[in-house]
């Protein structure tokens, strides 16, 4: 069961056309994400990793290749792929609980069940007592917790996270990573996570794919055999630091290349 | 305990200069005093000029005389009817413009197809001054209410459409995309995300537009009319009743202020969630 392929990104390329110039953003990427795996795409900024995630979400169409989820080709966005963005995308006119219920409402879930599920997720992300708060009354970290709960409440087949903690300060970021690990260890959803932060990638993932700078290709694949459950203390262990050293070397090369474009 | 007050913490003393630093906040009480002070200052200058006998009352009557003119207007000259007439015309023209303009603006800001089709025309007409339509509309529609309402409509509609379109366009794309990934269909994205996200901007636009509508109605009533605040002002000019003119202008100012406060109140009431 553990080894079945959940998501197959099959030979996907994306060419953007801007002012008559063709820009190759994603170059023939082939990735297989296993069921219940926490996989991360690690790459320097502007490497096309967000583009790849958006293709998986169905928000943009690849120029070449297909993405299959549970064997079915993805053609448009759908509730089987929940997404969390870096920017705060909560609906400001809805309370925390109403935000979490948004997807359930669309799918016509009965009221009692909707209430109960939303409440469960409010508690899972540690926001009990904030059910009736509007997003304007929440901190950045709390907003992202709601965004994660909202995506999870929809019970997607896979969760896509596009640098969800990118706008948070270092301390909050670290706490959010722990929260996400806890949630994942409990629910075992398949997750595809995108980040440029090496430590974050290693701490969270089962497998990390390092992407090259423009055009984005997969450069290396690093298995993260660290034991679970993980806590922040693991970041100081030798095995963690070795993995970090390995990933840093790979990503540094790419970051240097990326700066040469600017 | 040197330099410390009997109670509380030691503080750096505030200086008057601090209030003149750019964007520096000031105490609320000072803000209110200054706001009221501006009215008082205006009234003081007016009083000095008139009661001091520096200006002929024919050109500028004293505050007392203007007040008396106002009382006469209400008691003897049926000014209430004029006000109600003007309010009726402004509101009807404005409501018709809003009923058509808001949906059209939303469509224009949402669909590129609609934008391409309507924006050039609307953008063109917008630059034609509403007051220039008055002679044409008198020719077409006569000098009754319909003509006045048509002027209000032309003056507010085209601006309104473009402003609402901008509001709809400014709704963040990530928010729409999030809705899609939560399973929303296109129609649901429009009704459940785009519309609620645009509403505060729409109400704010309406507030600005209704202010403009007030200026158009007066122009329309000045030209050819048998009632309304503008009509009263132009009649007063013929009789050299300067006090009535000034009272008429002040009345418009008050009505504008009341509508503005109403919309602000509505905004805070409807959208407690806005940051």
Top pLDDT among B15 and A75 is at A75
**Interface contact flag, A103 B271, Cβ < 8 Å:** no
In this prediction, the residues of chain B whose per-residue pLDDT falls under 50 are: 1-4
Residues of A in contact with B178 (CB under 8 A): 83, 85, 89, 147
Residues of A in contact with B274 (CB under 8 A): 92, 136
Q: Give every CB contact of residue A52 below 8 A, 6+ residues apart in sequence.
A: A9, A12, A14, A26, A29, A41, A194, A216
pLDDT at A206: 94
- Chain A interface, Cβ < 8 Å to B: 57-59, 76-79, 81-83, 85, 87, 89, 91-94, 102-103, 106-107, 134-136, 147, 150-151, 154, 160
A73 C-beta neighbours (distance < 10 Å), count: 10
A190 sits in which H/E element = strand A190-195
A31: helix, strand or coil: strand
Report the chain A residue with the minimal C-alpha distance to residue B183.
A79
Phi, psi for A42 (deg, rounded to 5) = -110, 130
Measured in angstroms, the CA of B177 and the nearest CA of chain A are apart by 7
Looking at this predicted complex, what is its ipTM? 0.89
pLDDT at A42 > cutoff 70: yes
Average pLDDT of span A51-60: 94
Q: Which two tokens mark B207?
A: 């507030």
pLDDT at A153 > cutoff 60: yes
Q: Are B113 and B145 in contact (CB under 8 A)?
A: no
pLDDT at B52: 92
Pick among 3.40.50.1980, 3.40.50.300, 3.40.50.720, 1.25.40.20: CATH of A5-259: 3.40.50.300
pLDDT at A2 > cutoff 50: no
Would you place residue A262 in the very low, low, confident or very high pLDDT band (cuts 50, 70, 90)?
A: low
Average pLDDT, chain A: 90
User: For A175-184, what is each residue's pLDDT tens digit?
Assistant: 999 999 999 9
- The domain locations on chain B are 19-53, 68-270
Q: Identify the CATH class of B68-270.
A: mainly alpha
- The domain locations on chain A are 5-259
């Amino acid at each position: 069961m553990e080894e079945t392929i959940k998501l197959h990104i099959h030979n996907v390329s994306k060419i953007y056309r801007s002012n008559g110039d063709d820009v190759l953003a994603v170059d023939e990427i082939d990735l297989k994400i296993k069921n219940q795996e926490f996989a991360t795409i690690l790459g320097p900024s502007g490497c096309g990793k967000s583009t790849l995630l958006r293709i998986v979400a169905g928000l943009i169409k690849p120029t070449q290749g297909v993405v299959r989820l549970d064997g079915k080709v993805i053609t448009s966005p759908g509730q089987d792929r929940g997404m969390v963005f870096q920017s705060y995308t909560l609906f400001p006119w809805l309370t925390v609980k109403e935000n979490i219920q948004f997807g359930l409402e669309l799918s016509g879930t009965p009221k009692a069940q909707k209430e109960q599920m939303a409440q469960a997720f409010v508690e899972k992300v540690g926001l009990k007592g904030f059910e009736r708060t509007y997003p304007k009354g929440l901190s950045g970290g709390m907003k992202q917790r709601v965004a994660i709960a909202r995506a999870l409440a929809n019970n997607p087949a896979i969760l896509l996270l596009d640098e969800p903690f990118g706008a948070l300060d270092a301390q909050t970021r670290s706490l959010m990573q722990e929260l996400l690990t806890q949630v994942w260890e409990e629910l075992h959803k398949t997750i595809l996570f995108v980040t440029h932060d090496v430590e974050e990638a290693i701490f969270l993932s089962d497998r990390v794919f390092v992407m090259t700078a423009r055009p984005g290709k997969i450069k290396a694949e690093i298995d993260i055999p660290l034991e679970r459950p993980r806590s922040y203390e693991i970041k100081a262990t030798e095995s963690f630091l070795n993995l970090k050293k390995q990933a840093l070397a790979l990503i540094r090369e790419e970051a240097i290349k990326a700066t040469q474009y600017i | 305990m040197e330099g410390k007050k009997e109670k509380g913490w030691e503080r750096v003393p505030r200086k008057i200069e601090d209030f003149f630093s750019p964007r520096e906040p000031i105490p609320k009480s000072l803000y209110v005093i200054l706001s009221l002070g501006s009215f008082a200052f205006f009234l003081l200058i007016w009083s000095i000029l008139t009661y001091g006998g520096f200006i002929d009352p024919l050109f500028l009557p004293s505050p007392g005389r203007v007040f008396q003119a106002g009382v006469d207007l209400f008691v003897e000259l049926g000014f209430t009817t004029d006000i109600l007439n003007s309010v009726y015309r402004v509101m009807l023209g404005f409501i018709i413009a809003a009923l058509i303009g808001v949906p059209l603006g939303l469509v224009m800001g949402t669909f590129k197809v609609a934008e391409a089709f309507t924006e050039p025309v609307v953008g063109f007409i917008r630059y034609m001054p509403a007051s220039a339509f008055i002679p044409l509309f008198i020719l077409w529609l006569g000098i009754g209410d319909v003509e006045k309402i048509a002027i209000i409509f032309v003056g507010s509609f085209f601006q309104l459409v473009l402003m609402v379109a901008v509001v709809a366009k400014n709704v963040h794309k990530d928010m729409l995309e999030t809705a899609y990934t939560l399973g929303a269909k296109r129609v649901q994205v429009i009704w459940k995300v785009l519309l609620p996200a645009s509403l505060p901007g729409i109400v704010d636009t309406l507030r600005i537009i209704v202010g403009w509508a007030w200026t158009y109605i007066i122009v329309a009533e000045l030209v050819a009319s048998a009632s309304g605040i503008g009509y009263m002002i132009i009649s007063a000019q013929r009789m050299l009743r300067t006090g009535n003119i000034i009272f008429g202008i002040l009345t418009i100012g008050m009505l504008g202020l009341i509508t503005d406060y109403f919309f602000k109140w509505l905004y805070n009431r409807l959208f407690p969630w806005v940051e």
